[in-house]
Amino acid sequence: MPMRPSGTGEAERAERRSGVVLQADRVVLQQTRDRREILLTAFDTWLAENCRTTLEALLEPGNIDYDEVAEMLVAYGKDMYQAGKSYGRFSETINAVTAKRPSLRRNIAVAWDLAFNWVVDEPHEHNAAMPLSVMIACVTLSLLWGWTREAAIISMTWSGVLRIGEVLASRRQDLVLPEDAAPGQQAALLMIRAPKTRGRAARHQSSRIDPEDVVRLPSAVFRPLAPSALLWHQSPATLRRKFACLLAALGLAQRRDGTFQFSLSSLRPGGATYWLAATEDAEIVRRKGRWLSTRVLEIYLQEASVSTYDRSLSLETKSRIKNLCNVYSSVLEKAIFFKRTFIPETIWPQLW
């Protein structure tokens, strides 16, 4: 017989939980589960074509041969490597297989050995940290072009050491501006929807955005929005395209594949590196970026590359960035005035 609630409290909880199916696996997003299903389908197809077996037969409960599973994963990984597939696809395939049969986690070390050798042979390239001067130049140029939301998102993501996906998913009600808080608060807070580490750390997380000049821009841009309005109202691809336009206008060189050294993901390591230099306290930076450990934080810190970045720039680009940094304060003041007086952003480029 199905279990019944025995009190008012249990009945309320049962009603809230109706329609929710708990998964007996580690806490992952539904998108992750969907992606793993695709990877498992690809692995199953490879098994059928190359090993005359199926994933279902390989993972049959009570009849699992751990050595055989590990051997199949190693062979699959070698084929993926030769075919030019990414390391992430192989490592996530291992995670998907062990999620199907958790007992495999301690018995397929050889598959992870292959994955680690893959990383050594083809090391991962982390997102370059954006220096303070480049960030300010991007924000200033955005304001000169009338791109106020772009400028606000760039500055608050960098200063708050935020993941760009966290900002794109946020709404006005998630942003606590100084005027929304108790008197005397000068910083802003962004409450994070579905934080990445919610399965291992606090489920409710927030990021502090300061200093005051950075906070003033999001206050002017986002304060009039409705509580349910997204901070970024267009597609992520549009923001990436506009960010690339800013980098091109600054004269920052493209790579051979047509991409720029910096991306929207460069804002988080750039902010972390700056705050470490400003505070000289790794624990403060770790808490600001909400990393689980200092060891994870150190992956993002790039003091040497940020300090020596100017060496790779042309004199014209250096001069352009320096000039934009010098006029940042005056441009910010005028932009805030334009917002308060409801001057359309489309005519801003003609008013400077």
**Six-digit token pair at 298?**
């150190």
What is the H or E stretch that residue 193 is in?
none
Q: Which residue has the higher pLDDT, 277 or 5?
A: 277
pLDDT at 198 exceeding the cut of 70 = no
Over residues 325-344, the mean pLDDT reads: 94
Q: What is the pLDDT of residue 23?
A: 62
Q: What is the pLDDT of residue 121?
A: 64
| Contact predicate 260/244, CB 8 Å | yes
| pLDDT band at residue 256 using 50, 70 and 90 as cut-offs | low
Q: What is the pLDDT of residue 352?
A: 84
Enter the DSSP assignment of 128. P
pLDDT at 122 exceeding the cut of 70 = no
pLDDT at 197 exceeding the cut of 80 = no
Over residues 317-333, the mean pLDDT reads: 94
| Contact predicate 293/286, CB 8 Å | yes
pTM of the model: 0.71
CA atoms of 46 and 98, how far apart (whole Å): 18
Q: What is the pLDDT of residue 101?
A: 86
Q: What is the pLDDT of residue 331?
A: 95
pLDDT at 25 exceeding the cut of 60 = no
Q: What is the pLDDT of residue 18?
A: 78
Of the chain, the percentage scoring pLDDT greater than 90 comes to: 41
Over residues 307-325, the mean pLDDT reads: 84
- Highest-confidence range of 12-16, 299-303, 318-322, by mean pLDDT? 318-322
pLDDT at 147 exceeding the cut of 90 = yes
Q: Closest Cα to residue 97, out of 121, 68, 119, 123?
A: 68
What is the H or E stretch that residue 130 is in?
none
pLDDT at 174 exceeding the cut of 60 = yes
Instruction: Output the CA–CA distances (angstroms, integers) from residue 308 to 8, 27, 131, 273, 311, in the order listed.
Output: 64, 41, 10, 13, 6
Q: Which residue has the higher pLDDT, 53 or 184?
A: 53
Q: What is the pLDDT of residue 332?
A: 95
- Highest-confidence range of 28-32, 240-244, 257-261, by mean pLDDT? 240-244
pLDDT in tens, 80-94: 998 888 888 999 999
